[in-house]
Amino acid sequence: MAAKKILIRGGTVVSESEIAPYDISIEGERIVAHGDKGQFDSESFDEIVDADGLLVLPGLIDPHVHFDSPFMGSRTDHDFLTGTKAAAYGGVTTVISFSTQSKGGSVLKNLEDQEKKALGQAYIDWSIHGILLDASEQTLSEIPELVNRGVPTYKCFTTYRHANRMVDDDGMLKILKATAENGGMLMVHCENDSIIEYRLKSEIEKGNTEWIYHALTRPRLAENISIQRIIDLMKVERAPVYIVHTSTSESAGIIHEARSQGAPLHSETCTHYLVLTEDELKKENGYLFICSPPLRTERDIDTLWTAARVGPIEVVSTDDAGLPVADQTRLAEGRFNKVPSGMPGVEPRLTMLYTEGVRKGRISWPRLVSLTAGNPSRLFGLSPKKGSLAPGSDADVVLFDPDVEWTMSAENLHMNTDFCPFEGRDVFGKPKTVLSRGEFVLRDYELIGTSKHGQRVIRKLDSSYIY
Ligand SMILES: [Zn+2]
């Protein structure tokens, strides 16, 4: 059977460098050509998609989601089936989730287990990052195998010592060394555990258990010190590092400084740090807004938007890690430190970044595409297949209607949860049609894809982007 030919006609295409009206020709799984409006002979296509009045974007990449993941006595709301479905509604065509090493266990074994959960259960393409809980001989010996299997990125925590998840300086140096030697990139969750545990103990002793103490016991200082620490360790063992979910205004300056001195350092923030403040924690349902690092202040939001616009922030991800509200309520027992932390967010990102970012003049459309498609593609080894509408790339395409006005709610989203961190907000724009490798996943706001479609993406880092 000849490859299906689809023409996306009459849309306004947003790339990382420009916004321009042109038509896009797709053959099978790939984009094959661009042409001036009306240039292609519509007779030669099997299907015409009318993109008049719509913005045409490369499918978004979410390089930070936690599907089917255990945490603090609970398990994340999204598995691959429900998570990739919600992602597709949000204009996402590739997700990278995590597999957590079991303490003392094999990273590869956990990775394989996680991959089995995703196979045949994904509406869109996917990949996985490892999570390393230690720097044992066995863990270090598995790093080259991870990289060879197409999983060149893995994360460590500088906190959660109480849960046996923390890697200390010693371990971090060993992992940095192995990362440099094997062509990987280390992702780091930066929060200084000692400061957090010290503060936690003293607030609990004083009987301070309200939700807001989650933010007060995980101060900005803990994050800033921890980011600086990894930068200093990189001077001992130079290797590429990606700081996940930066949330403080100071972090932008610290990262910028290190990059200007040549450190192969990258960073992301997440939608919620660009929109919400710690005031959410003062509300009755504040425990549902508990995430780590915690939500910060308006000042941080302003600085993070600037850092997203001009750097050093290169990616906006979601850290989608919502947990069942019933579990959070039950486990919380009215105490901030008992709440399993994490919020859902894989679906609303594009609409929120358009509403809060582009429409408010904080970022341009091309920059939004860089933050959510181009940069994650290059940094995580998905380029040139993903994150671009250039001929030769996968036909992962989003047709976004910028004129739809709606009120965001868990009711009208498709995430597997009845909690939405952006509940009740009046927002603009919605993905109308989404293609993944030339197949319709979403068409006219309706899901028509299947969970058999999504494939594992083998990733390989390009050192010219990482170093
Ligand atoms: Zn995370």
How far apart CA 357 and CA 372 sit, in angstroms, is 13
Show the tokens assigned to 403.
Answer: 């004129």
Q: What's the gap in Å between 316 CA and the centre of ligand 1?
A: 13
Q: What's the gap in Å between 381 CA and the centre of ligand 1?
A: 19
Q: What's the gap in Å between 319 CA and the centre of ligand 1?
A: 5
CATH code 3.90.550.10 for 58-386+460-466: no
How far apart CA 401 and CA 410 sit, in angstroms, is 20
pLDDT value of residue 103: 85
CB 156 within 8 A of CB 124: no
Q: What's the gap in Å between 213 CA and the centre of ligand 1?
A: 21
pLDDT value of residue 1: 66
**Averages of pLDDT over each 10 residues, the chain, 467 residues:** 92 98 98 95 96 98 96 91 98 97 91 96 98 96 97 97 93 98 98 98 97 98 98 98 98 98 98 98 97 98 98 98 93 92 97 98 98 98 98 98 98 97 98 98 98 98 97
Q: What's the gap in Å between 343 CA and the centre of ligand 1?
A: 10
Q: What's the gap in Å between 292 CA and the centre of ligand 1?
A: 8
pLDDT value of residue 33: 98
Tokens 């709440």: give the residue.
339
Residues 307, 312, 314, 315: what is their CA dihedral angle, to the nearest 10 degrees?
-50
CB 417 within 8 A of CB 86: no
How far apart CA 411 and CA 408 sit, in angstroms, is 8
Q: What's the gap in Å between 64 CA and the centre of ligand 1?
A: 6
Each domain of the chain, given as residue ranges in start order, spans 58-386+460-466
Q: What's the gap in Å between 101 CA and the centre of ligand 1?
A: 14
Q: What's the gap in Å between 130 CA and the centre of ligand 1?
A: 12
Q: What's the gap in Å between 31 CA and the centre of ligand 1?
A: 32
Instruction: Output phi, psi for 136, to 5 deg.
Output: -70, 165
Q: What's the gap in Å between 336 CA and the centre of ligand 1?
A: 19
Q: In what order do the strands lie in the sheet with 60-62?
A: 60-62, 92-100, 125-131, 153-157, 185-189, 241-243, 265-270, 315-317
pLDDT value of residue 354: 98
- 4 Cβ contact list (under 8 Å, min separation 6): 27, 28, 46, 47, 438
Show the tokens assigned to 171.
Answer: 């371990």
